[in-house]
Amino acid sequence: MLENIEECRVNDFISSLSQVDDDILDLKKYALENNVPIIRDEARDFLRFIIDIKKPSNILEIGTAIAYSTLIMHKEYREANITTIEDFDKRIKEAKNNIKKYFDIDKITLIEKDAGVYLKECKDEEVFDLVFLDAAKGQYINWLNDIKRVTKKNGIILADNIFKDGEILESKYLIKKRDRTIHKRMRDFLYEIKHDDELITYIYNLGDGISVSIKK
């Protein structure tokens, strides 16, 4: 029976069937060797699936890191224009090098600033077909209204690592005091996207948890 099989074994088996280009594997290897947090394999394949179905013309990625997930989206649909945001100087340098190495430069715009600042400054409404969130989890709730504003009708807002290594599932009393603010904000974000009249939201137990919201 499938329910008796360890979930990690199932995920490993599914991941082993995936077709992934060598350059993506090279970037993944670099991330693992240098302790750079990147999207997990299950979430990676789900992101590719969403990209393939949606065929987004304009993508906003919040949290570039070394441009691993940026590369996944670019490889899956090369027609997409991707705006990706990063404010950590070390990661910006690495992302620039990888963008130069792996990408069609004309399709990628790297924004070097805080995502909250960028979203506030962004005057264009309903410009992005897909918003991919993989950054500071405690800020998701603070960014939500501006993210909705810049997302097109029928556009998708996808948030990764929403379970925060399982911490979000726990009572706040089991969470270290220094982490309780993030714990509350992440729970508030999940509640908000599930109850927001402007959104249709699904939450999946993939990787470290992933949410998919469609703007009505």
pLDDT in tens, 26-46: 999 999 999 999 999 999 999
Number of domains in the chain: 1
Which one has a higher pLDDT value, 171 or 213?
A: 213
What count of Cα atoms within 13 Å lies in the side-chain half-sphere of residue 170?
13
Name the band, by pLDDT with cuts 50, 70 and 90, for residue 152.
very high
The whole-number average pLDDT for the span 56-67 is: 97
CA-CA distance, 77 to 56, in Å (whole number)? 8
3-state secondary structure of 204: strand
- CATH code for the domain in which residue 62 is found: 3.40.50.150
Cα radius of gyration (the chain): 17
Query: 82: closest CA among 104, 103, 58?
Result: 58
Cβ–Cβ < 8 Å for 135, 115:
yes
What confidence score (pLDDT) does residue 43 get? 93
Give the pLDDT of residue 115.
Answer: 96
State the burial class of residue 70 (Cβ atoms within 10 Å of its Cβ: 0-12, 13-18, 19+).
Answer: buried
Q: What is the DSSP secondary-structure string of 60-90?
A: EEE--TTTHHHHHHHHH-TT-EEEEE---HH
| pLDDT at 103 > cutoff 90 | no
**Mean pLDDT lowest for which of 3-7, 20-24, 147-151?**
3-7
Confidence of residue 1 (pLDDT cuts 50, 70, 90): very low
pTM of the entire predicted model: 0.89
Of 87-91, 133-137, 164-168, 202-206, where does mean pLDDT reach its minimum? 164-168
pLDDT above 70 for 131: yes
- H or E stretch covering 111: strand 108-111
More confident residue, 96 or 163: 96
User: pLDDT at position 123, please?
Assistant: 81
In the numeric block, which tokens belong to residue 126? 């309903």
186 vs 82: which has the higher pLDDT: 82
Of residues 18 and 103, more confidently modeled = 103
pLDDT, tens digit, 9 for 90 and up, residues 174-184: 677 777 777 78
Q: Hey, CA dihedral for 206, 192, 186, 125, is it positive or negative? A: positive
Q: Is the pLDDT of residue 68 over 80?
A: yes
Residue 16 pLDDT: 74
Range of the domain at 8: 2-215
